[in-house]
Amino acid sequence: MESCILKIISSKETYGYEISQQLKKYGFSGISEGTIYPLLLRLEKNDLIKAKYRESALGPKRKYFSITQAGEKELETFVNNWQELNHAVNQLFHGGE
Protein backbone atom coordinates (compact mmCIF):
# COMPACT_ATOMS: atom_id res chain seq x y z
CA MET A 1 0.00 0.00 0.00
CA GLU A 2 2.90 2.35 0.74
CA SER A 3 4.03 2.12 -2.88
CA CYS A 4 0.56 3.04 -4.11
CA ILE A 5 0.63 6.09 -1.86
CA LEU A 6 4.10 6.98 -3.13
CA LYS A 7 2.83 6.74 -6.71
CA ILE A 8 -0.02 9.15 -5.99
CA ILE A 9 2.28 11.60 -4.22
CA SER A 10 4.86 11.36 -7.02
CA SER A 11 2.50 13.02 -9.49
CA LYS A 12 1.81 16.09 -7.33
CA GLU A 13 2.02 17.46 -3.82
CA THR A 14 -1.13 16.35 -2.02
CA TYR A 15 -2.78 15.78 1.37
CA GLY A 16 -4.28 12.79 3.16
CA TYR A 17 -7.93 13.13 2.18
CA GLU A 18 -7.02 13.65 -1.47
CA ILE A 19 -4.82 10.53 -1.34
CA SER A 20 -7.73 8.49 0.05
CA GLN A 21 -9.98 9.76 -2.75
CA GLN A 22 -7.40 8.80 -5.39
CA LEU A 23 -7.08 5.31 -3.89
CA LYS A 24 -10.87 4.89 -3.99
CA LYS A 25 -10.88 6.06 -7.61
CA TYR A 26 -8.49 3.22 -8.48
CA GLY A 27 -10.52 0.57 -6.67
CA PHE A 28 -9.11 0.61 -3.14
CA SER A 29 -12.56 1.18 -1.66
CA GLY A 30 -11.84 -0.61 1.62
CA ILE A 31 -8.96 1.68 2.59
CA SER A 32 -9.96 4.30 5.15
CA GLU A 33 -8.21 7.53 6.10
CA GLY A 34 -7.47 5.82 9.43
CA THR A 35 -5.30 3.38 7.49
CA ILE A 36 -3.65 6.00 5.29
CA TYR A 37 -2.40 8.39 7.97
CA PRO A 38 -0.20 5.85 9.83
CA LEU A 39 1.29 4.84 6.46
CA LEU A 40 2.00 8.49 5.66
CA LEU A 41 3.73 8.89 9.03
CA ARG A 42 5.85 5.80 8.35
CA LEU A 43 6.80 7.04 4.88
CA GLU A 44 7.73 10.40 6.36
CA LYS A 45 9.74 8.79 9.17
CA ASN A 46 11.65 6.76 6.56
CA ASP A 47 12.38 9.95 4.56
CA LEU A 48 10.44 8.71 1.53
CA ILE A 49 8.10 11.71 1.67
CA LYS A 50 8.26 15.12 3.30
CA ALA A 51 5.43 17.19 4.70
CA LYS A 52 4.64 20.84 5.09
CA TYR A 53 1.59 22.69 6.31
CA ARG A 54 -0.25 25.05 3.97
CA GLU A 55 -3.16 27.39 4.40
CA SER A 56 -6.53 26.05 3.31
CA ALA A 57 -9.44 28.13 2.07
CA LEU A 58 -11.77 25.61 3.70
CA GLY A 59 -10.48 25.74 7.27
CA PRO A 60 -7.34 24.87 9.20
CA LYS A 61 -3.95 24.34 7.61
CA ARG A 62 -3.49 21.10 5.69
CA LYS A 63 -0.46 18.84 5.78
CA TYR A 64 0.76 18.40 2.20
CA PHE A 65 3.09 15.59 1.22
CA SER A 66 5.69 15.43 -1.54
CA ILE A 67 8.01 12.62 -2.55
CA THR A 68 11.74 12.76 -1.81
CA GLN A 69 14.59 11.41 -3.95
CA ALA A 70 14.71 8.36 -1.68
CA GLY A 71 10.97 7.92 -2.21
CA GLU A 72 11.39 8.09 -5.98
CA LYS A 73 14.09 5.43 -5.81
CA GLU A 74 11.90 3.24 -3.57
CA LEU A 75 9.01 3.61 -6.01
CA GLU A 76 11.25 2.68 -8.95
CA THR A 77 12.45 -0.42 -7.08
CA PHE A 78 8.86 -1.41 -6.30
CA VAL A 79 7.81 -1.03 -9.94
CA ASN A 80 10.72 -3.19 -11.13
CA ASN A 81 9.98 -5.88 -8.54
CA TRP A 82 6.27 -5.77 -9.36
CA GLN A 83 6.94 -6.21 -13.07
CA GLU A 84 9.14 -9.24 -12.38
CA LEU A 85 6.50 -10.77 -10.10
CA ASN A 86 3.73 -10.03 -12.58
CA HIS A 87 5.71 -11.67 -15.38
CA ALA A 88 6.41 -14.78 -13.28
CA VAL A 89 2.76 -15.14 -12.24
CA ASN A 90 1.59 -14.72 -15.83
CA GLN A 91 4.05 -17.40 -16.93
CA LEU A 92 2.77 -19.72 -14.23
CA PHE A 93 -0.91 -19.25 -15.02
CA HIS A 94 -0.82 -18.77 -18.78
CA GLY A 95 1.94 -21.09 -19.94
CA GLY A 96 5.52 -20.66 -20.88
CA GLU A 97 7.48 -23.73 -20.03
Write down the domain spans for the chain: 2-94
For the segment 15-73, what is each residue's pLDDT rounded down to a tens digit? Answer: 999 999 999 999 998 888 889 999 999 999 999 999 999 988 888 899 999 999 999 99
Class of domain 2-94 (CATH, top level)? mainly alpha
Cβ neighbourhood burial of 32 (10 Å; 0-12, 13-18, 19+): exposed
pTM: predicted TM-score of the whole model, two decimal places: 0.86
- Within 13 A of 89's CA, how many CA atoms are on the CB side? 6
